[in-house]
Structure 1
Amino acid sequence: MRSPQSTRHVAFIGNYPPRRCGIATFTEDICEAIAGAFPDASCFAGAVNDRPEGYEYPARVRFEIDQDDPDSYTRAAEFLHINNVEVVSVQHEFGIYGGPAGSHLIGFLSQLRKPVVITLHTVLKSPDADQREVMRRLDELSERFVVMAERGQHLLEEVYGIDPAKIDLIPHGVIDMPFVDSNFYKDIFDAEGKTVLLTFGLLSPNKGIESAVEALPAILARNPEVVYLIVGATHPHLVAHQGETYRESLQALSIELGVAGNVIFHNRFVSMEELKEFIGGSDIYLTPYRNEEQITSGTLAYTFGAGKAIISTPYWHAQELLAEDRGILVPFADAAAIAAAVNDLLEHPTRMTAMRKRAWKEGRQMTWPQVARRYMDSFDAARAGLSVPAITAADNASYPVPPAKLDHLFRMTDHTGIFQHAIYSVPNYHEAYCTDDNARAFIYTVFHEQEHGFDPAIDRLASTYLAFLWYAFDANTRRFRNFMSHERHWLESNGSEDSHARALWAVGTALGHSNNEGFRNLSALLFQRGLEAVMRFSSPRAWAFTLVAIDEYLRAFSGDRSVAKMQRLLVGRLMGLFQANSSPDWQWFERVATYDNAKLPHALILSGQPEAIQKGLISLKWLINEQTGEGGQFSPIGCHGFWPQGSEKARFDQQPVEAHAMVSACMAAYDVTGEEIWAAHATRCFEWFLGRNDLGVSLYDPTTGGCRDALLRDHINQNQGAESTLAFHLSRSELTRRGYGGPCPT
């Protein structure tokens, strides 16, 4: 049984360093934060290029998108599909994607069959027609939005009509820095004994830095030890069109005002470690932006989280973050107000320290690990809220059984046995072999011969699988081992109880159906030597598999009293479980329904004991009812949580082995009762493989003859492992060797 996947595959789309912009920095930060907070998560990025030569990206960036090439977006969507991505996190700001108002992103999302969470770095109060249309389409094509300020949430609701339930308010992440004295860092940039004012980030006119420079004469008149650090390179797009005109204007202004000696430019894009030092060594952070509609500022968030005294113009993000005396707001383009605020703080250090502490304490809720957990909650909600295609009456029309195609079975088998897992349709050597799957494979070859007659190629496969089972059996412990490496080293001394019982099921099947005398003789040895151990087993499914094996064995050796005694013992155990745990609304053997569920009623149906057969039919009928979707499709209990009594049953991840167990149990019920309804149920359960399921997609791959591993909430697991492939072929054989295989009977 495949365990539920714990790894979450997340792709982040946006700009990415070494491209220099705030979006790039944010994309890297959130991607690394998720990877750090969730070590089992697989995170990678898709970077949007604004120049033909691209950038020298780190390994985290797995693919690139040409900003202005629509075909590049198509290729990116396909890349995400083939990499089994579960959630796509898109960073959005008008201008970083090509087309009118970045509409190339819409083409990308239209082709993407994945849940999408969009982080909005800008929310416009007065969008133009193109921008409004892009936002409308983003709403249609995404599961959730993330905004970093309450004002953004209100605008989404009021201006764009976004459902409030679809919006997550998650703050901009911050570095987790201690609350320390700024003097600890000042020697690093030769500012010992100075009071340091700081502004950092990419330089452009909308930053309003000239207002801070203009405030310096009034500040220096009362606090001559002040220096103003302006840290950061000029924005690359500004350099491309205007060169360093803006920076040169600031330098000229500082000379004109006679404060050039107190203004220090660090004209470079600093690393995160350097940035921590600059922030740590600053006393007051200035953010004199000119645009009120600035809804997100990473630089503001970083200094706020570090517990710095902040003086800012009242743009939207600052209004929220600096409320409740966590900072000071001054009017736009008002140098005198900036000077008055700086001087007041410096003259009242106790007030400044208290303000810093309030900011720092609030910032503990904004550290990147905290933000990462909230993003993962949003991603999980996006997957949970993804709409599932409705199964309509048209789906009842026809799902003809495809012809037998065993290419993948041969591909998955070498001279040792069948490989457990596949990467797509290619055998995965890393996880090599197991007794469970070789037992299933041997059962299939026995039934194939019974249905189609002798085939030398299938006979060779059967010999390989039986040889594996013989090698797996330890004569000293009388137990089957289960897992074997590719180097033929057993990875355990005893396998699970279930794997032992599945091996008995396989050799019992050979005794009941095979015409190969050598196979039968060796199977008899394994069955007789391995049966006694089951008396000490506690797994109900191991009892059930063994009962199926016993039923097959007794076809050939009905007079074996010791085996018949074991049958009565195990039937009694299952009946005891049913009587202890069942109720009118819970017709089941345990307090939780887990995996391979139908094998439990299947075992009772084969028992030959009237009361046990009746309980088996009752519990199987209950299981069928509970695993039937609204459109009549088979909808098995998912292995990602199973179904504890009194709780909601897991809908995903649905496993092929569940469909096979149901097909096999229903056909056993048909054989015992002769009632056609059981064959109809079996056929419907088989159609789950072919597309009559909760997603309306086929798990069976007719090009390879393999079967995909699971039906997930929003896609299928594309790997074609042995368990899944054999579940399909065994299910198919259950129907075709009894003469079924057309449309589902009505």
Structure 2
Amino acid sequence: MTAIPFDHLLSLTDHKGTFEHALLTVPRREHGYCVDDMARVLVVATIEPDTTGLMNGLAGKALRFLNDAQSFNGACRNRMDVGGHWTDLPTTEDHWGRCLWALGTAAAHSDVSLVRKLAVIQFDRAAAMRSRWPRAMAFAAVGAAELLTVEPGHRAAVALLTDYVSTLDPPTGDAAWPWPEPRLTYANAVLAEAMIAAGVALERADLRDRGLDLLEWLVGYETSDGHLSPTPVGGRGPDDAQPGFDQQPIEIAAIAAACGRAADADPRSIWPETVLLAQAWFNGANDAGLTMWDPATGGGFDGLHADGVNQNQGAESTLAAMATMQLARRYTPVPL
């Protein structure tokens, strides 16, 4: 099993949290921290099998940050400035969903009992709320499904998943464009992943299979000449030319995560193969043929353009690269 370097992630992190942005490799402290990234930190730190004191320390820091972000009713702030002051009000937008995703993942995977216990307490608080945003609910549903793998029947998780399923529109019935939205936008794969996760957790084979079918369509739509070609920042509709730029590493990580979950529910080879395509995208098998991370430090580059790479190594892109590499290790043959 190949070790993943965490050097750059640690260099972006101080005693409060992980800075959101970087100028090349230098943290841009003036932009502060956000729950979106600290949720990703908690996931990466707690699913890492080669845990160390540093990883456990990162998990504890992320857990404290997410706890401080929550209000008493479960809604969540997102942004903290470098002085440690929250700059926004609690809401149930995407960061709330990512918070629940991370807490459920930590409860299921951390090897530190206190982290698992605190993650469940925080999950219960946040799970009292609901969101009108589809991706927020999808992230929250994935977290609830993770929690149910270690606490079957957990009341708040079951209720959240049940309410999530009730928000889903029926299938479009359009074989050419089965996607539940008129355009692909961002974090697309989590919509399919949440269906798979909820279908498995609630023993709803129909919902699991719908998620698998949507994910298979998305993988096919975002594959070109044997490599991944993800939806760019501006989105992608049925009549848009491909490839599109600027491509974001977080889209690749979302595809990898969804395919990793699909592989646990369906034995077909498409899922591990796509996880390895996601790894290959970071290593240069992409529309520009350019490497999208620094394997010496673990830093991820912020965007892929038609004419080059955005060399800044912010937290989101770094964590996207790390999460993808973590998943890819499951499916990489061990040398004899």
| TM class, shorter-length | over 0.9
Report the equivalent of 1:681.
274
Q: Displacement, 1:468?
A: 0.7
- Correspondence 1:511 to 2:103: no
Confirm or deny: 8 A CA contact 2:4 2:326 kept in the other structure.
Answer: no
Of structures 1 and 2, the one scoring higher in RCO (CA 8 A, sep 6+) is 2
Report the equivalent of 2:332.
740
**In 2: Cα distance, 1:538 partner to 1:495 partner:** 11
Report the equivalent of 2:214.
619
Which of the numbers 148, 167, 176 marks the counterpart of 1:573? 167
Identify if the C-alpha distance between structure 1 residues 712 and 522 changes in structure 2 by more than 3 Å, giving closer, same or farther. same
More strand as a share of residues: 1
Match for 1:612: what amino acid? L
**In 1: Cα distance, 2:219 partner to 2:144 partner:** 25
Q: Displacement, 1:668?
A: 1.1
- Correspondence 1:637 to 2:228: no
SS at match of 1:711: strand
Structure 1 spans left out of the alignment, 5+ residues = 1-400
Which of the numbers 20, 32, 35 marks the counterpart of 1:435? 35
Report the equivalent of 1:669.
262
Q: Displacement, 1:676?
A: 2.1
Confirm or deny: 8 A CA contact 1:699 1:708 kept in the other structure.
Answer: yes
- Correspondence 1:543 to 2:137: yes
Matches within 5 A, 1:232-271: none
Report the equivalent of 1:470.
67
Which of the numbers 121, 127, 131 marks the counterpart of 1:531? 127
> What TM-score does the superposition give when structure 1 sets the normalisation length?
0.43
Report the equivalent of 2:24.
424
Report the equivalent of 1:590.
181
Return the index of the structure with the highest Cα Rg. 1
Confirm or deny: 8 A CA contact 1:508 1:523 kept in the other structure.
Answer: yes
**In 1: Cα distance, 2:33 partner to 2:333 partner:** 32
My pick for the range that moved more, 556-565 or 544-553, is 556-565
Report the equivalent of 1:479.
75
Structure 2 spans left out of the alignment, 5+ residues = none
**In 2: Cα distance, 1:582 partner to 1:690 partner:** 37
Report the equivalent of 1:177.
none
Report the equivalent of 1:382.
none
Matches within 5 A, 1:112-151: none
SS at match of 1:419: coil
**In 2: Cα distance, 1:617 partner to 1:560 partner:** 25
Identify if the C-alpha distance between structure 1 residues 486 and 582 changes in structure 2 by more than 3 Å, giving closer, same or farther. farther
**In 1: Cα distance, 2:8 partner to 2:157 partner:** 37
**In 2: Cα distance, 1:507 partner to 1:612 partner:** 24
**In 2: Cα distance, 1:402 partner to 1:708 partner:** 21
Identify if the C-alpha distance between structure 1 residues 403 and 522 changes in structure 2 by more than 3 Å, giving closer, same or farther. closer
Deviations 1:113-141 (A, max 9, x none): xxxxxxxxxxxxxxxxxxxxxxxxxxxxx
SS at match of 1:552: helix
Report the equivalent of 2:295.
702
Identify if the C-alpha distance between structure 1 residues 412 and 562 changes in structure 2 by more than 3 Å, giving closer, same or farther. closer
Q: CA RMSD in A?
A: 1.8
Q: Displacement, 1:568?
A: 2.2
Report the equivalent of 1:554.
148
Matches within 5 A, 1:150-165: none
Q: Displacement, 1:645?
A: 4.5
Identify if the C-alpha distance between structure 1 residues 691 and 589 changes in structure 2 by more than 3 Å, giving closer, same or farther. same
Q: Displacement, 1:735?
A: 2.2
Q: Percent identity?
A: 35
Match for 1:592: what amino acid? R
Q: Displacement, 1:582?
A: 5.1
- Correspondence 1:460 to 2:57: yes
SS at match of 1:585: coil
Which of the numbers 190, 194, 212 marks the counterpart of 1:599? 190
**In 2: Cα distance, 1:696 partner to 1:716 partner:** 10
**In 1: Cα distance, 2:90 partner to 2:237 partner:** 29
Confirm or deny: 8 A CA contact 1:439 1:506 kept in the other structure.
Answer: yes
**In 2: Cα distance, 1:402 partner to 1:702 partner:** 11
- Correspondence 1:718 to 2:318: no
Confirm or deny: 8 A CA contact 2:92 2:129 kept in the other structure.
Answer: no
Match for 1:688: what amino acid? W
**In 2: Cα distance, 1:649 partner to 1:522 partner:** 45
Report the equivalent of 1:490.
86
Q: Displacement, 1:704?
A: 2.5
Confirm or deny: 8 A CA contact 2:70 2:90 kept in the other structure.
Answer: no
- Correspondence 1:628 to 2:220: no
Match for 1:591: what amino acid? P
Identify if the C-alpha distance between structure 1 residues 720 and 471 changes in structure 2 by more than 3 Å, giving closer, same or farther. same
Matches within 5 A, 1:256-405: 403-405=3-5
Deviations 1:55-90 (A, max 9, x none): xxxxxxxxxxxxxxxxxxxxxxxxxxxxxxxxxxxx
Q: Displacement, 1:604?
A: 0.9
Confirm or deny: 8 A CA contact 1:627 1:636 kept in the other structure.
Answer: yes
**In 2: Cα distance, 1:546 partner to 1:443 partner:** 13
SS at match of 1:480: coil
Q: Displacement, 1:569?
A: 2.2
Q: Displacement, 1:559?
A: 1.8
Identify if the C-alpha distance between structure 1 residues 572 and 637 changes in structure 2 by more than 3 Å, giving closer, same or farther. same
Matches within 5 A, 1:165-184: none
**In 2: Cα distance, 1:646 partner to 1:509 partner:** 37
Identify if the C-alpha distance between structure 1 residues 533 and 679 changes in structure 2 by more than 3 Å, giving closer, same or farther. same
**In 1: Cα distance, 2:236 partner to 2:295 partner:** 32
> What TM-score does the superposition give when structure 2 sets the normalisation length?
0.94
**In 2: Cα distance, 1:718 partner to 1:635 partner:** 19
**In 1: Cα distance, 2:159 partner to 2:91 partner:** 25
Match for 2:15: what amino acid? H
Confirm or deny: 8 A CA contact 2:105 2:146 kept in the other structure.
Answer: yes
Q: Displacement, 1:647?
A: 4.3
Identify if the C-alpha distance between structure 1 residues 741 and 436 changes in structure 2 by more than 3 Å, giving closer, same or farther. farther
Identify if the C-alpha distance between structure 1 residues 483 and 582 changes in structure 2 by more than 3 Å, giving closer, same or farther. farther
Confirm or deny: 8 A CA contact 1:501 1:542 kept in the other structure.
Answer: yes
**In 2: Cα distance, 1:482 partner to 1:558 partner:** 30
Matches within 5 A, 1:209-224: none
Confirm or deny: 8 A CA contact 2:33 2:82 kept in the other structure.
Answer: yes
**In 2: Cα distance, 1:494 partner to 1:446 partner:** 25
Q: Displacement, 1:565?
A: 3.0
Report the equivalent of 2:323.
730
Which of the numbers 99, 116, 126 marks the counterpart of 1:520? 116
Structure 1 segments of 4+ aligned residues over 4 angstroms from their partners:
645-650
Identify if the C-alpha distance between structure 1 residues 468 and 561 changes in structure 2 by more than 3 Å, giving closer, same or farther. closer
Q: Displacement, 1:497?
A: 1.1
Identify if the C-alpha distance between structure 1 residues 528 and 425 changes in structure 2 by more than 3 Å, giving closer, same or farther. same
Identify if the C-alpha distance between structure 1 residues 742 and 700 changes in structure 2 by more than 3 Å, giving closer, same or farther. farther
Q: Displacement, 1:646?
A: 4.4
Confirm or deny: 8 A CA contact 2:128 2:156 kept in the other structure.
Answer: no
SS at match of 2:214: helix
